[in-house]
């Protein structure tokens, strides 16, 4: 699919992996709408890449609809990259044997709401808009790329909520691709491994921590670059024969229990 001149939405696009994806799409000529809750970084990046910014909480359907409508004004909406997400570790039970110290269900619901339900809500709204566009050669109307994680397969201690949310994103990839095939929309998922983003901080301590993480990576023996992950996302958008797949981008890493 030729993405020059189309509009594309990247959720969580103000920083990290989402930012790299937004830059990659813009470099190919797409008009990118960055959907994020970070107004300052989102607006600055949108200005830099010639796109637009929309303040979007992915748990708010009206925010999603507004973003999709805004993207449609920039050009035919043909690409969606779902990169918004959260994650933090918490064990299923506490150390003191009390019910109160067990995994906080409010936190569980928050992770599922953002990582899973937010992803699906954006898909159903954006795909509806894509279905109204004129089909390209071969009947193609658009491409959706979701962001899962290798934690969907190799969930570590404390990652029950995060792994559940990302595993569900993997699990819904095929049925949604089957749903949307009738209108010419492809759906794929990327499962990133250990990617070097600002979340790890800076300085000697940060570098030592990242070096320790790299022990699980086969080759190259380092964390991945956001640009490497973005190149896979770009391929999944542009390659019209890629559909219903989940692809690990992890340097061959298989995560241990902790």
3-state secondary structure 192-228: ECCEECHHHCCCHHHHHHHHHHHHHCCCCCCCEEHHH
Between CA 181 and CA 187 the distance in angstroms is: 9
Active centre residues (catalytic): 162
Three-state DSSP class for residue 92: coil
Between CA 145 and CA 216 the distance in angstroms is: 26
- Describe the chain by its helix, strand, coil percentages, rounded to 5: 50, 15, 35
Bridge partners (DSSP) of residue 247 are 190
Contact status, residue 68 vs residue 125, Cβ threshold 8 Å: yes
Q: At what angle do helices 226-238 and 16-27 cross, to 10 degrees?
A: 50
């Amino acid at each position: 699919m030729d993405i020059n001149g189309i509009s594309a939405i990247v959720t969580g696009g103000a920083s990290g992996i989402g930012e790299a994806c937004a830059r990659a799409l813009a470099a190919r000529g797409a008009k990118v709408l960055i959907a994020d809750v970070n107004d300052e970084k989102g607006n600055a990046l949108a200005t830099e890449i010639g796109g637009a910014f929309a303040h979007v909480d992915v748990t708010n359907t009206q925010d999603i609809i507004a973003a999709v409508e805004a993207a449609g004004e920039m050009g035919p909406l043909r690409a969606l990259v779902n990169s918004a997400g959260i994650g933090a570790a918490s064990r299923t039970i506490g150390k003191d044997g009390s019910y109160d110290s067990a995994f906080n269900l409010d936190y569980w619901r928050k992770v599922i709401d953002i990582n899973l339900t937010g992803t699906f809500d954006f898909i159903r709204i954006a795909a509806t808009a894509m279905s109204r566009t004129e089909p390209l050669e071969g009947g193609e109307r658009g491409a959706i790329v979701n962001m899962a994680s290798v934690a969907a397969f190799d969930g570590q201690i404390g990652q029950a909520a995060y792994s559940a949310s990302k595993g569900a994103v993997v699990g819904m990839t095929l049925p949604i691709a089957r749903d949307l095939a009738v209108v010419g929309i492809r759906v794929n998922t990327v499962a990133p491994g250990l990617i070097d983003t600002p979340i790890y901080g800076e300085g000697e301590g940060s570098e030592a921590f990242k070096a320790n993480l790299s022990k699980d990576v086969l080759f190259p023996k380092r964390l991945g670059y956001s640009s490497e992950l973005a190149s896979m996302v770009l391929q999944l958008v542009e390659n019209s024969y890629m559909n219903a797949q989940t692809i690990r981008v992890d340097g061959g890493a298989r995560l241990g229990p902790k």
